[in-house]
Chains A and B, each alone.
Chain A
Amino acid sequence: MKQISRRGLLRTGMAAGVLAATGVPTLAQSRGGTLRLGLAGANTSDSWDGRTHSDTYMIVCAMGAVFDCLTEIAANGELVGELAESWEATADAKTWIFNLRQGVTFHNGAAFTADDVIASLNLHVAEGSQSAAAPIVAAITEMTKLGDYQVQFVLEAGNADFPFLLSDYHLLMYPHGSIEEAIANGIGTGLYRNVSFDPGVRTVLQRVDGHYKDGQAGWFDSIEVIAINDGSARMTALMTGQVDAVNNVVFQTEPLMRANPAIEVMDVTGNQHYSFPMLTNLSPLDNVNVRQALKYAVDRQELVDKVLQGHGAVANDHPIGPANQYYFAELEQNSYDPDRAKAMLQAAGLDGLNIDLSVSDAAFAGAVDAGLLYQAKAADCGININVVQEAADGYWSNVWLKKPWCASYWSGRVTEDWMFTLGYQTGAAWNDTNWENERFQSLLLEARAELDSAKRREMYYEMQMLCSQEGGVVIPMYANFVTANSTKLSHPETVGNVYDLDSNRIAERWWMA
């Protein structure tokens, strides 16, 4: 390992600061170096099968380095082609034609064609597959190869977001005919090829020569991803320079990192949010006034300051976040207001309210504290919240979707439709509020098939408003993705906010300073 003196680091760090202040662009990307990542979220059962991916470690390695999807969400939130070059839809958004990039080869030398697209997507609906992306592929009724580099998809119902959905990290492209081998050895079309992969321990990747992203991405010569699930060990590894970047910064050590000139802490607000869903089919939560009283009884800023220690933003009781296209930032903010809360209770015909709130740190780190803070503030609104601390084990099976009011979290989704469909459509398996609103449900279907961006914006704004005012969930805060990296690394000015570490594409987009 190359030893670097702290003095040297300080100098380069200061130089970068001076350049930034004088306005000279510091974005001169150069090839070279090894990126060493220390990531949480690794398991001994990890594999190169995209259908099983659910945590940062494997997503950074697979979607972020070894494999490609058809489309990619750029750092600024715009949808760009990855293995697809362009796409078009019929007016009803039901039939989509994708033109594929030509001259792309897999790491085993096979050429990438339309057959690979069809075979890779079919993996998700194969017998026995439990892929989280199965609903996306199941909505495709027909996949036709129009040519070696052209595929047509017919959907069961119009979906204007379809190209967005294809950027999902589960939907990786594998070489057809040798998919088993590709899953076993990690053979994709990405910028980096798999050199060694020890599940739950360590992954080493090597830059591919001659790649279609040359000059735009993929600046490192090699990538080493080390599994460090223990928080303190991860922070120490960065502080001692054994890794260049870490995810899930431990808040207790964050001030130390900020004080260290060789380390940069990144605080990115995305769609991840913490919530308190209510089962709106049960009394008294079936009364919209009661729900509103509860929304006015929480001090959101206090939760952001104390539970997230400032690493978050106040949310407005709907699940759409700043990383979404049609986020309604100007929507009237629900905020702490004891008088309004009391008025709402009166409107519901109640003098006061006694209610149980089930919490556990399994829902999100600090959920119990959040419940207690909520309780203290709600007391002044005539609401007596009884905080019930539930067992962390089996929380999602025994408490969530079962108890009338509990703590929960959502990582958010890149499209409004996806988020609402997953957690808010009537009958959805993960609908955690059972909130019935005719207007909301009809808007959901209407917006899905609408290709006109302005009209969609209007509809999604209205849905966010309905959800915020009448919906069955208190969403007090967005939780930031907090990562830290050595100043030896350089990154573009805009960093992706769909997931942590530049939307998990740090290996492609960052470079050595």
Chain B
Amino acid sequence: MSTVLRIILQRLALGLLTLVIVSIVIFAAVNSLPGDFAQAILGQAATPEAVAAIRTQIGLDDPPVTRYMLWLYGAVQGDLGISFAQANFTTFTGSSNNVTVADQIAPRFANTMFLAGVTAAIAVPLAVTLGILAALYRNSVFDRAANIFTLSSISSPEFFVAYVLILFLAVLNPILPSLSNIYADMAMGARLKATLLPALTLTLVVTAHMMRMTRAAIINLLASPYIEMARLKGISPLRVILRHALPNALAPIINVIALNLAYLITGVVVVEVVFVYPGIGQLFVDSVKIRDIPVVQACCLIFAAAYILLNLTADILSILSNPRLRHPK
């Protein structure tokens, strides 16, 4: 087990390094976009004096390297700073308020996690079941239909899938609301109902990948001699797959599930905008629009961290599920 622990620590350290590099890349990218916060927020009212005043107030006058270092200095102490919009607002009104980036992101992140949770609860069992059934009845009509359906839904852009679902489930048959504006004190039932359409959209987007991987991994194993042996013993095909093939196919399946779970956190931007779901993706879009670097940075760090951690989890789980990897030579 100590090797696993060492791997975890090693990967976490590498993950931290990745986060720093990601933050540098994002910082550079947002800075190289035309226009800055002052110009974006002032719009037509952007007289040179007003732009200069806002830049001075929120520290946009400092050279980029200095600003990045200041941000990094705060970030390593767990202080992600105050968004430009809030900082500008504070000087604007002459009042003090303490809404930090963390305060802004926390409720949005919770909403995104809720959506990811609901989606995972639908998508993972669905994809694995479909994958197993497709392997079981491979090359049958069912296998082909499942393949065509999931592949075409993953091949369509997310917003298109979203609009198709809205058309069928909200406009033509008003079963579900097209607006997913969940809020803090909403009852669980209503919350689930409001979240269902974006969750279904995401389900359609992530299912194909997981299902195909499950199917492929199992079919791969079905040619092995021990499966042949099991069959010769006269075990039913379903039992062969569940008892003998699946445990050995788990590693690649877990990997792909973890990757897709990460996608549920980082890839929700478009879906959240289409359904007006108040998650982190929508906040991200709003912040990029006004070049609010502290919020953009924080969102990107969360996205990157989600990927790194879920990948790490996937690796650990596949190591644990595969004794050969647990004892590297």
Contacts and interface: CB of A to CB of B under 8 A. Distances in A.
Interface residues of A, number: 47
Contacts of A229: 286
A230 B274 contact: yes
Interface stretch (A72-80, A123-131, A142-150, A307-315): A123-131
Contact of A393 (B40, B50, B89, B286): B40
A236 B300 CA distance: 30
B303 interface: no
A396 B34 CA distance: 12
A396 B286 contact: no
Main secondary structure of the interface of A (DSSP, over half): loop
Given A44-B283, A237-B179, A400 B44 contact: yes
Interface string B272-305: 0111101000010011000000000000000000
B22 to A, nearest CB: 23
Contacts of B179: 38, 226, 228, 233, 236-237, 240, 242-243
Contacts of B83: 44-45
B197 to A, nearest CB: 11
A133 to B, nearest CB: 13
A227 B277 CA distance: 10
A240 B174 CA distance: 7
How large, as a class, is the contact surface on chain B? 35 or more
Given A200-B286, A408-B44, A51 B93 contact: yes
A183 B276 CA distance: 26
Contacts of B40: 393
Interface string B165-182: 010001100100111010
B328 interface: no
B163 A232 contact: yes
Interface in B75-126: 83, 85-86, 88-89, 91-95, 104
A128 B51 CA distance: 14
Contacts of B91: 128
B276 A240 contact: no
Given A44-B104, A45-B86, A239-B171, A233 B50 contact: no
A201 B278 contact: yes
B93 A44 contact: no
Contacts of A201: 181, 183, 278
A44 B181 contact: no
B311 interface: no
Contacts of B86: 45
Of A51, A198, A233, most B-chain CB atoms within 10 Å: A233
Contacts of A339: none
B248 interface: no
Interface of B: 33-36, 39-40, 42-51, 53, 83, 85-86, 88-89, 91-95, 104, 163, 166, 170-171, 174, 177-179, 181, 183-185, 273-276, 278, 283, 286-287
Interface of A: 1, 3, 38, 43-45, 47, 49, 51-52, 126-130, 132, 180, 183, 196, 198, 200-202, 226-230, 232-233, 236-237, 239-243, 391, 393-394, 396-397, 400, 408-409, 429-430
10 contacts: A47-B89, A49-B93, A129-B92, A130-B92, A202-B278, A226-B276, A232-B274, A233-B276, A237-B178, A409-B44
CB-based closest 5 A-B pairs: A393-B35, A45-B85, A394-B35, A393-B34, A397-B46
